[in-house]
Amino acid sequence: LPAAADMAAEPPPPPLEPIVLPVFREEGFGDKFLRKTRENPLVPLGCLCTVGILTYGLINFKRGNTRKSQLMMRARILAQSLTFAALLGGMAVTAMKSR
């Protein structure tokens, strides 16, 4: 058993140093909103356009201008569709980047 005697003569291994983990801070609503807006700026822009068209259509509806009101409601649907497409496109780009 000379190998066991050699192992007993070796000094014990040094103690392990603690692993330093990165510190993450809690992301607030404003920080997350700004980060998401920078990642995909077309979604907030599409939302603003949709709300603007909807508001203009409702104003025309209240004034009795039914023709322009109908046109704005159709434009609102188009704006919503484009916003949804931008959302899906942004999700696809983000998924491709993570690979």
Q: For residue 92, tell me if it sits in a domain.
A: yes
Q: pLDDT band at 76, cuts 50/70/90?
A: very high
pLDDT at site 47:
96
CB distance 42 to 90 below 8 Å: yes
Q: How many domains does the chain have?
A: 1
Q: For residue 31, tell me if it sits in a domain.
A: no
Residue with tokens 């995909």: 40
Structure confidence by residue, pLDDT tens digits, 34-57: 999 998 999 999 999 999 999 999
> Would you put residue 64 in left (φ > 0), alpha (ψ -120 to 50) or beta?
left
Which residues are CB-contacts of 71 (< 8 A; sequence separation ≥ 6)?
57
Q: For residue 8, tell me if it sits in a domain.
A: no
For residue 87, pLDDT over 70 is answered with yes
CB distance 78 to 52 below 8 Å: no
- Find the domain containing 46 and state its range: 41-98
CB distance 50 to 80 below 8 Å: yes
